[in-house]
Amino acid sequence: MPIDWFPLWLSLRVACISTALALAIGLWLAWVLANRQFRGKEVLDALVTLPLVLPPTVLGYYLLVVLGRNSPIGHLYEWLFGVPLVFSWQAAVVAALFHSTPLLVKSARAAFEGVDRSYDRAARILGASELRLFWRVTLPLTRRSILAAAALAFARSLGDFGVTLMIAGNIPGRTQTVAVAIFDAVEAGHGAVARVLVLIVSAVALVILSLANRLTTNPFGPRQTAL
């Protein structure tokens, strides 16, 4: 049976878009959680982490309710773009975003909290604004950890299944991602197709994880202890 490569290309596109959105949203959330004290911080942290622990069917149901055609957000999206959000490839991006952003936020927050505060104090004394402090001091000091977190978020987006199936569906040539295509191939008894797709996804994931490990490894080697 010939292999349909559309699910692989769609998954790569979904992963790229969701990772870019996760960086934009996740870095801001991570910086706020790492550098600000406010009432409800623990609740916000719990809400950010919640998609990592909820069953995919539960998260998918919540998203169906929030993004469905009868919801305010779904109605607004359909009014703006002329098509429903659910059961579209854009819905697959939303599904991947909700599973990749918490992972990025957790890693980025740990990186931000690990920055030596003396650099921040010195920059503020020199008159740097909070935005300039972030771009010129915090981000350069944490860029390797942030890039590693982005790589992990990309890998997570590439393999999303449960939430994607619930809000984007399984429409060949439109919303079928590679994870759903593998499930379909196994159900239909197309073992050869499933094996090829599994090997490709595994190879991509291995490359991404190797990159993430390389980024989080000390470029100067292990720390030496003086005798």
DSSP 46-88: HHHHHHHHS-HHHHHHHHHHHHSTTSHHHHHHHHHHSS-STTS
Regions of the chain with pLDDT less than 70: 1, 217-227
Distances (CA, A) of 125 to 28, 34, 119, 121, 178: 23, 21, 10, 6, 51
pTM, full prediction: 0.87
pLDDT tens-digit series, residues 51-101: 988 998 999 999 999 998 889 999 999 999 999 999 999 999 999 999 899
Average pLDDT, the chain: 87
How high is the pLDDT of residue 225?
A: 43
How high is the pLDDT of residue 226?
A: 40
